[in-house]
Structure 1
Amino acid sequence: MGSVAGFSYKTSWLAVRNRTPSEVADALELQDRKILDWATGTDRAYQRGVYVATPVPGWTLAHGRLHLPTGFDATEPPFPGWLRQLSRHLGEVQFFANERVPDYHAWARARHGELLRGYCFNGKRGEVPLFVGTPTADEIELGVGLRGMEPGWERWSDDEWTAWYETTPSESDVMAMAGRWSTDPSAIDDATVTEGGIYGLPPSVSDTS
């Protein structure tokens, strides 16, 4: 069965401004590297590992459903430090994630070691475990990511919960945010991606294939 080109939903990815795939792969410490075409690399990164490519001018994308990051996700305490550290090496680094089930949606932007904005919604638990910085103009215009777990949320009325939920995102909102901040991967014309990218495994993932 042939590979399906591209990626978008049910995964996580980084968008890195004006860096080469090699620089991004080095920052992620990817091992067992292979040069793969766009279709094969993105398909494989849905299963394991990370695929790094430059499908659009000015942005290098690193995609990995299970291993970006490895061992935790944007709902957990290590995430902000991980993104800050990457941005110390790479400059501007953006993170996006969307999973319809279990309703996990996130976006974050760091630059030169500073986490400028971070938002994550965990629909399974009905909470916002990550809320760093103030909502950007893009979030305000889309009407999503505007509220975290504010003081006194335990005593919210049904109406207050309804108003709060109206600001929580769907997977399509994640794609819209990616398009505004950098690039929406679902909108990439796969036929234009003619150069191969770098596929590899993070240090904690062994190559058992």
Structure 2
Amino acid sequence: MDSVAGFGFKTSWLAVRDRTPGEVANALELHDREVLDWSTGTDRAYRYGVYVAAPVPGWTLAHGRLHVPAGFDATEPPFPDWLRELSRHLGEVQFFASERVPDYHAWARAQDGELLRAYCFIGERGEVPLFLGGPTVDEVELGIGIRGTEPGREHWSDDEWTAWYATTPSEFDVMTMAGRWSIDPNTIDDAIVTATGIYGLPPSVSNTSPTVS
């Protein structure tokens, strides 16, 4: 992957309200920490590890394509409890993910140990494997994320399938949801992020970095 400044597509991240990078790094239990600038940290987190950036107004972002979270993704059973536990330590914690292949798009929000909303769509499978809590006002207004994987789909007509797919998100919709709930990292002006952040590895991750395309 070429060097990038900023992030948003083909990765996962957390948005944490009104917390310092140190507090977020501690909650994630990052080890082998380094102090890195925004461009270097976000670039490295696309390949390995987690970069907790210096706060943008009101929000601290923790980015890691492979390791937010580490060892599983939003479709797997540990995910809800992982986000709940982070929010017990950090208050409001939001999760976003977008991968073009396998068309994996997710968002979730937890507050003080309560999972308020979680949604994930896997386009490759045509499924919504995660649908917890009712759709938020933002989802309803945008018309995305408002339907789960429903019974009886094997009997649907083409029109019913078309209507269902119309509610499923693209990678751009993930960015829109992030902008509605907190901040779209793809819109951050790289030049204004002059403070350093913290790069590190979660507890289950070694310091041997593979190559990720």
TM-score with structure 2 length normalisation? 0.95
3-state DSSP class of the match of 2:47?
Answer: coil
- CA offsets 1:37-73 (integer angstroms, 9 cap, x no match): 0000000000000000134111000000001101110
1:96 aligns with 2:96: yes
Cα gap change, 1:93/1:123 in structure 2, threshold over 3 Å: closer, same or farther? same
Alignment correspondent of 2:190: 190
Instruction: Judge conservation of contact 1:55–1:188 (CA < 8 Å) in 2.
Output: no
Seen in structure 2, the aligned counterparts of structure 1 residues 200 and 45 have a Cα distance that, compared at 3 Å, is same
How far off its partner does 1:3 sit?
Answer: 4.0
Q: How much has 1:124 moved relative to structure 2?
A: 1.1
Q: How far apart, in 2, do the equivalents of 1:135 and 1:77 lie?
A: 20
Letter in 1 for 2:207: D
In structure 2, the residue matched to 1:200 is 200
Whether 1:172 and 2:135 are equivalent positions in the alignment is no
Alpha-carbon distance between aligned partners in 1 of 2:187 and 2:105, rounded to the nearest angstrom: 19
Q: Does the 8 Å contact 2:31/2:201 carry over to 1?
A: yes
The residue that corresponds to 1:107 in the other structure is 107
* 2:18 pairs with 1:25: no
Shift of 1:151: 3.1
Matches within 5 A, 1:33-48: 33-48=33-48
Identity of aligned residues (%): 80
Matched with 2:149 is: 149
Q: Deviations over 1:104-143 (max 9, x none)?
A: 0000000011110110001111100000111111111111
Work out the number of aligned pairs and report it: 209
Match of 1:54, SS state, is coil
Aligned partner letter, 1:178? A
Moved over 6 A (4+): none
Q: Which consecutive residues of structure 2, in runs of 5 or more, have no partner in the other structure?
A: none
Residue 35 of structure 1 aligns with an amino acid whose one-letter code is V
Distance (Å, rounded) in 2 between the aligned partners of 1:89 and 1:100:
31
Q: Which consecutive residues of structure 1, in runs of 5 or more, have no partner in the other structure?
A: none
Asked if residue 140 in structure 1 is aligned to residue 140 in structure 2, the reply is yes
Alpha-carbon distance in structure 2 between the residues aligned to 1:115 and 1:152: 28
